[in-house]
Amino acid sequence: MAIRHQNTEQDFAQHGKTGKIQQWLEAMRKKAEEAFFDQKMPDKIHSMNLDMVNGMIGDGKQAKNERDSSNAQRMPQGVKIISEKSPDALARQGIIITSLAEYLEKNPGMAQGRLYSQSFTENKFAAMNSAFWNRGIAVHLQKNARSDDPIHISYELTEKLNFDRALIVAEPGSKAIIMESVHASPNSAVGNDEKILRSHAIEVFAEDSSEIFYGKIQNMPDNVYDISIKKGKISSNAKIDWMDCTFGGRTTVSECFTDLAGQGAKTNNWGLFYGNKSQKFGIFLRNQHSAQDTVSDMLTKGILDDKANSIYEGTVKIREGARGSNGYQKQDVLILSPKAAADAKPNLEIDNNDVRCTHGVTIGQLDKEKMFYLMSRGLNGQQAKRKMVEGFLEAMLSRLTVQRLKDQTSQIIAEIMENMPTDNTKPNGGAA
């Protein structure tokens, strides 16, 4: 005999909450879609020729069909969570990882107060993701939940249009290391020469005395356009560390905004990119000091070869009430080819004099004297160049305390350098 489920008051109440959150989400998506079609491309990326995004989206019908076909399964298709512990073991530890759809359903109040609160329609790319995301991940760290084992979120690109979104909430006293990697499916459209779009938006909330490390490795095929937006809000004595390691894709746009909202908040924003062929990189960082005694550090190191080029804009904003704060930023770019180019614009916006801020940029080529010295010690031109590249990157690689991230990054760099054109030049300019 079948047992008939008896609906309870709690069931009806939950159904009502779920219905309301879905209505709210649909309304927000509609606003974002309207904003996407109304807005122009951001001025800062005009030189990157990204108007093709409009053509890929078209009237939005395909993006909406893929969005609406997604469901509230525990983990979206093409997304894997890799950890030393099982999801159930992590949950017992107070670390909840689930689909964003399921998180919205089970935590409507908390989710509604956070999703879209940092990134919604502030520019065309943000509006695009807010409207069309179809794979969402939520990571929730309960109070004092701590894990030193990296949580690896692996995204597989399976479609021409890929829209991912993540919401990370760290309650007071919690700590986690989160790694993101992106790769292409060999059996999908990504494997051919067709243009592929990947859009990703992340909102991180670090509550009092919590710590989040978020590291990303991007090594996608040459036909991928990667647009990512990362937003973080840091409460008192909490910390968010960002680390971006970017190697692949045809064009990469990476925006990161961090609000140091509570006294004693800290953030490190570190980035590494290595471009060749005709790759383009747009890196836009902004740290806002909203409270006193806050500390931020930006360091980006890039290498450009062949016809690759980069644009960098970094801003440290010190608000009036943020006395006793320190903000630093530095970008170094090493140019390996006369056809490669880099442009950098560091900015300071200071509304309080009781602070310390520095900024600097170096864009240069290989030091000929150092090359000569290395080659006089028996290295050929190729070996000397590799040695200097390794030395240039060492300061950044030494900051990678997450061993898995460091190992993968070092391996990719080694493979890139292995494929450098052979150069057997000797110090006197003759052939080997």
Helix (H/G/I), strand (E/B), else coil: 132: helix
Show the beta-strand stretches assigned E in 236-322: 239-246, 251-260, 266-275, 280-289, 295-304, 309-318
| Helices marked H in 283-378 | 368-376
341-350 vs 309-318, strand pairing mode: parallel
* Tens-digit pLDDT profile for residues 285-339: 999 999 999 999 999 999 999 999 999 999 999 999 999 999 999 999 999 999 9
Rounded distance, CA 25 to CA 105, Å?
A: 11
| Beta strands across the sheet bearing 266-275 | 79-82, 151-157, 175-184, 211-218, 239-246, 266-275, 295-304, 326-335, 356-365
Task: Indicate the average pLDDT of the chain.
Answer: 88
Residue 424 confidence (pLDDT) above 80? no
Q: Which range is least confidently modeled, 205-214, 228-237, 404-413? A: 404-413
Rounded distance, CA 197 to CA 199, Å?
A: 7
* Tens-digit pLDDT profile for residues 338-374: 999 999 999 999 999 999 999 999 999 988 898 899 9
Cβ burial, residue 51 (10 Å; 0-12/13-18/19+)? exposed
| Beta strands across the sheet bearing 224-234 | 95-99, 135-141, 161-170, 196-206, 224-234, 251-260, 280-289, 309-318, 341-350
Residue 70 in tokens:
């997604």
Rounded distance, CA 274 to CA 416, Å?
A: 9
At residue 72, the pLDDT reads 45
Rounded distance, CA 134 to CA 64, Å?
A: 9
Q: Using alpha carbons only, what angle is made at residue 230 by residues 227 and 232, rounded to the nearest 5 degrees? A: 175
Nearest to 289 by CA among 328, 322, 240, 266: 322
